[in-house]
Amino acid sequence: MPDPSPSPSNWRDRLIPLAATPPREEPKLALRAELRETIPRTAARWNGPTSKAATTATILNPARHSLLRLAVRPVLRGARGWVTTGVGWTTIAHQRHRLGLGAAEQHWFAQFTALYRSSVPAETGQDPQWYTLDNFDNPLLWPLLSQAASLNIPLVGSRTTPEVRMAASAQVSLDLARTDDGVVVSPRVLIDEASVSPTHTRALGTHGLYSLSEAAPHTLTLAPLSAPLPAEYADLLSGPALRIPRSERAEFERDFLPALVERLAVHSADASVRIPEPRPTTLVLHVQHEPRHVMALRWEWEHVRAGIVPDLAAVLPEGTLPADWSIDPAPGGISGTGGGSLPAPRKLRDFDAAEFSTELLPTLRNLPGVRVEQHGMSPEYRHLTGTPIISVRAEPGTRTDWFDLGVTVTVDGIQIPFEPLFRALARNARRLKLVDGTYFSLKHPAFAPLAELIHAGTDAPEWETGIGVGPAQAGLWRELADQADHVETDPAWQLLVDALTADTPADAPEPEGLAATLRPYQRTGLGWLRFGYEHGLGGILADDMGLGKTLQCLALIRHARTQAPETGPFVVVAPTSVVANWAAEAARFTPGLVVRTVRGTRASGEDSIATLAEGADILITSYTLLRLDAAEYNNPARPWAGLILDEAQAVKNATSQTHARVREFPAEWKLALTGTPLENSLADLHALFAIVTRGLLPPAARFTLEYIRPIESEPAGISRGIGAGRGPADRAAHRQALFARLRERIRPFVLRRTKESVAPELPERQEQIIEVDLAPAHRDLYDVYLQRERQKVLDLLDDLDRQRFIVFRSLSLLRMLALDPALIDAEEHADIPARKIDLLIEHLREAHAEGHRALVFSQYPSFLRRIGDRLAQAGLAWEMLDGSTTNRQDVIDRFQNGDAPVFLLSLRAGGVGLNLTAADYVFLLDPWWNPAAENQAIDRAHRIGQTRHVFVYRMIARDTIEEKVLALQRKKAALFDAMFAGDDAVGAALTAEDIRALLS
């Protein structure tokens, strides 16, 4: 940046050009103003000039004044003055360089032409070299002429009128004098406060005039009018004075004088005529009542005097009209502080018309300077403002545990028909108007629980044929009943509501045939499952990983098969890696049940679903096979007993085919098992409830608007720090209220217990972060890639939805590079050491020497294979499980029952559904921004059945993207805690702001 302090030797040189007055050059072009006499066309003369310069004789002859016009044209400085040769309106635009014009001068003449042609379109018979100004009806002429002087474009005259000058302003008025013969009406013209002869004065449109001095040499003066002059009054300037006979004076003063006073300035210099006060300018609102409760509004100014109207804001104070009503600019010929503007015409319908009629129209009638005129038959509108009185009742319906809902609403003694009320609340209307013109607000707090109930029910299939409430709406029913003035309910429904809204579910004993003893919290879980199953009410069992969700479900299945053995089997859907574990657990804990596993699709030659289901109690399949053979489940010989979704986070994407197939699965009862019902966003939670408890939450679009956006998104503008005001505190309070409301809504349908709360005997879990410094060559390579990928990704974040694949590819590249350069290019970077592998091998050797066994997790199987090679070199045995492993259970059994000290697992294939309590060390080599995935991986070892302390090591490469991912984990963990632990937080799926933080 240059030094701002000028040296002593050059400061004068820099300031002299700025301080000096620019030299005044001789003008090259001028605008000539000339009085010209028009040459009328006749049958004998149809060609030739259309005008000629007016002579002195013509100017002084009043009989010829009607042929005079004021015209202008560009002229060029010649040797003997201003000449017309070589320049004209049609050629000046192309002569800038030939004439040596400046850009500003040429631009001014171009502006003049454009402005003239906007008022006086080109027509046959016009002189193309002269622009006549008499009909130039655009007041912008005057600022344009004023600008000419500043651009060194003088206004020059002709031989007849050698001097042309611009005056500041002019006024036209009428002077009335009473004589013995009657009344004389004479025009009076003032230019710059000096009186001039009206005989030699003509109007320029409605906005100005020009006047010719009587004495020679004649001076032509142009002046803008201080108030518009109506065109019909222009003839008064040059015509003779009007004489009103004495016998007609009364008629003139009665019928004509009041109108003149409102249009022009009228006075009586000798006070011989009494001038009436003009009627005040009035804003008139015309209200046209049309059929079907339509109201058309139109505004106009009445009694406008001299073209000047009041400021609209002075007549209609700010806030009188709705803020979204537009204002039209002033029509031509009207001026004033407010510009003569008017509210734009508009039509109001239904309750907008009713609200205007009852609330705003009386206000307008009482405003001074406003008159309301109504046309047509005005409906009788009535605004109900009383507190709604709500009566509700629940009566047994045609479906088990569903009850018909009856609602009666009374406002100000009028009973509101429920059908229009229902439709209005369903579409989030702010008000409701009935057919008789009665209307009222729907934003009263008394309507909120009813609106919530209606919105929740619109996503339930039972509402397709009528209005009802079921177990999913128990919480909403209680809110509605608390607000209602009168409640009638069926005892069976009340018992169901009380059970669903109880603080803790009732315990249930182990069913006969279960080969296990349930822990106290598992008996509570079984009671919760039994209650839901018996009422056809699904839910989410969201216990921490390792607390025996599978065992609790098997206990429920054992109980259900004892109660209703004639139904079809329970269908269990799990990730492929967990299917075998389900079969093994079922054989272990429910040996009396028939368990069958779906091993392939019908197209691959496997048995049909109907064949496998025949005589089975449990049918186990994977999400992939269910999606491929979904149609096989649609028409079972016996109704499916229920659908259990293990590791249900697999169907959190509501737009996926798997989610659609599971949602459409024909089972009356569905259960989701997952320790992480919420991983990235509240949308995960909504997707699961859309499967297991339809109607509990609003439809996806409304849920996003009411919960996801307010909780997870920061608003535009200043949202924190200085300048945010109370915004952050208000938003935090609002989020807390939303969390509390959502937690209360889902509470009966989610059962979640943590290890700390229900399994205190479980050995402690200790976690430690091990920071790894990259080798120098590794660091240099990482920094080069970071700069390149950062620039590429930051340019794509404004369109993240479309560029998401490229962005995540760049992030994955940096994550792999933080692990081992050989993952990018094994040959080129083979000589660059991977410190993380070196440190891991040291820890694994030490753990093995102390008798520990370890699980090693990574997102990248290729990295695990490189670790396996190093383990082999170190003499340590190992097993490996990734997505390509086919004999999964054999590999798991070998580790659980064998002596290999290390189990290498990919986070995706080995992070869910496995029981690996033989290990007590867990190493996480590359952090993932979803903390739930890592917690599930850790819980393969830290679960019921573990008898030793579990040590968890997260290995983080210092000063790399891995540190940023760790920070992002904490943010996403906060959202889960807020939802299921009651703390306030903000979190969401990976956003553009998150990605910027990863690359910072």
Length of the chain (residues): 1000
Q: Can you give the pTM of this predicted structure?
A: 0.53
Choice between 632 and 119, residue whose per-residue pLDDT is larger: 632
Q: How confident is the model at residue 942 (pLDDT cuts 50, 70, 90)?
A: low
Partners of 36 in beta bridges: 53, 69
**Residue 899 pLDDT > 80:** no
Lowest mean pLDDT among 71-80, 284-293, 752-761: 752-761
pLDDT surpassing 70 at residue 842 = yes
Average pLDDT of the segment spanning 620-637: 91
Higher-confidence position of 567 and 972: 567
Distance between CA 224 and CA 144 in Å, rounded?
A: 12
Which residue would you say has higher pLDDT here, 4 or 21? Answer: 21
Confidence of residue 23 (pLDDT cuts 50, 70, 90): low
Mean pLDDT of 860-872: 91
Q: Which range is least confidently modeled, 132-141, 297-306, 370-379?
A: 297-306
pLDDT tens digit sequence for 94-137: 887 777 778 888 889 999 989 998 888 877 667 788 999 988 88
Beta carbons within 8 Å of 426's beta carbon, 6+ residues apart: 454, 455, 458
Pairing between strand 618-622 and 570-574?
Answer: parallel
Q: What tokens does 885 get?
A: 């492993």
Backbone phi, then psi, for 72, in 5-degree steps? -135, 155
Q: Residue 459: its pLDDT value, please?
A: 47
Is residue 825 predicted with pLDDT exceeding 80?
Answer: yes
Q: Could you state, in order of their start, the residue ranges of all structural domains in the chain?
A: 29-166, 170-267, 282-379, 383-461+469-500, 520-756, 765-998
| pLDDT tens figures, 779-804 | 888 888 888 877 776 665 566 566 66
What CATH number labels 765-998?
A: 3.40.50.300
Cα dist from 218 to 60, 65, 222, 225, whole Å: 11, 15, 13, 22
Tell me the pLDDT band of 223, cut-offs 50, 70 and 90. very high
Q: What pLDDT, on a 0 to 100 scale, did the predictor assign at position 20?
A: 61
H/E stretch holding 620 reads strand 618-622
- What pLDDT, on a 0 to 100 scale, did the predictor assign at position 146? 92
Judged against a pLDDT cut of 80, whether residue 316 lies above it is answered with: yes
Which tokens hold the place of 312? Answer: 């609209």
Whole-number Å distance between alpha carbons of 911 and 864 = 14
What percentage of the chain reaches a pLDDT higher than 90? 20
- Domain boundaries 520-756, corresponding CATH code: 3.40.50.10810
700, amino acid identity: A
CA–chain centroid gap for 405, Å, is 36
Report how far residue 1's alpha carbon sits from residue 4's, in angstroms, rounded to the nearest whole number. Answer: 9
Using CA atoms, how far apart are residues 557 and 569, in angstroms rounded to an integer? Answer: 9
Q: Stretch 394-406: mean pLDDT, rounded?
A: 59
Q: Is the pLDDT of residue 1000 over 80?
A: no
Token pair listed for 542: 């969201």
The predicted pLDDT at position 943 comes to 64
CA 304 from centroid of its chain's CA atoms: 45
Tell me which of 328-342, 700-714, 847-861 is least confident.
328-342
Integer Cα distance of 891 and 884 in angstroms: 12
Cα 613 to Cα 632: distance, rounded to the nearest angstrom = 11
pLDDT for the residue numbered 987: 36
Buried residues in 705-717 as b, exposed as e (16+ CB within 10 A) = ebbbebbbeeeee
Q: What is the pLDDT of residues 173-190, one digit of tens each?
A: 899 999 989 999 989 999
Same fold, 520-756 and 765-998: yes
- With a cut of 80, say whether residue 314 has pLDDT above it: yes
The DSSP 8-state label assigned to residue 357 in this structure reads I
Q: What's the chain's average pLDDT? A: 81
Q: Which residues pair with 951 in a beta bridge?
A: 766, 921
| 430-439 confidence digits (pLDDT tens) | 888 887 778 8
**What's the mean pLDDT in 773-780?**
88
